[in-house]
Amino acid sequence: MTVRVVMLALAITTGAAACRSALAPPPPMDVSPLLPGETAFVVAGNVRYIPLEGGFFAIVGTDGKTYDPINLPAEYRRDGLPVKATVKVRSDMVSVHMVGTIVEIVRIESR
């Protein structure tokens, strides 16, 4: 009986630790360089999964605008994750997503 209790406690503790690490916010990341002459701005908002064109992730800013990042790191692809990102507009690109301004992330962190 005691061995069963110890094994159960160990299993619960291990499971809880595994779940907690999966939900931990990702670390800040430098994603792309900002080259001389390029301008960037900061966007605060939430990552959202958009179920169009096969599905993709966008950032819905607190300014009410939607941003379509071309290089959102996999660690940040979580629906509802609050983020702060330094981005640069990519007006030289087009997208089938058609949801907002196409941006390239320079730096991103969870808020």
Q: Tell me, what CATH number does 69's domain have?
A: 2.40.50.500
User: What pLDDT, on a 0 to 100 scale, did the predictor assign at position 25?
Assistant: 92
Q: Are 41 and 87 spatial neighbours (Cβ–Cβ below 8 Å)?
A: yes
Q: Does the global pTM surpass 0.85?
A: no
Q: Based on the structure, what is the number of domains in the chain?
A: 1
Asked if the structure places residue 102 within a domain, the reply is yes
User: What pLDDT, on a 0 to 100 scale, did the predictor assign at position 66?
Assistant: 98
Asked if the structure places residue 22 within a domain, the reply is no
User: What pLDDT, on a 0 to 100 scale, did the predictor assign at position 23?
Assistant: 78
Domain that holds residue 103: 29-110
> What residues in the chain have per-residue pLDDT under 50?
20-21
User: In whole angstroms, what is the distance from residue 108 CA to residue 19 CA?
Assistant: 23
User: What pLDDT, on a 0 to 100 scale, did the predictor assign at position 10?
Assistant: 60
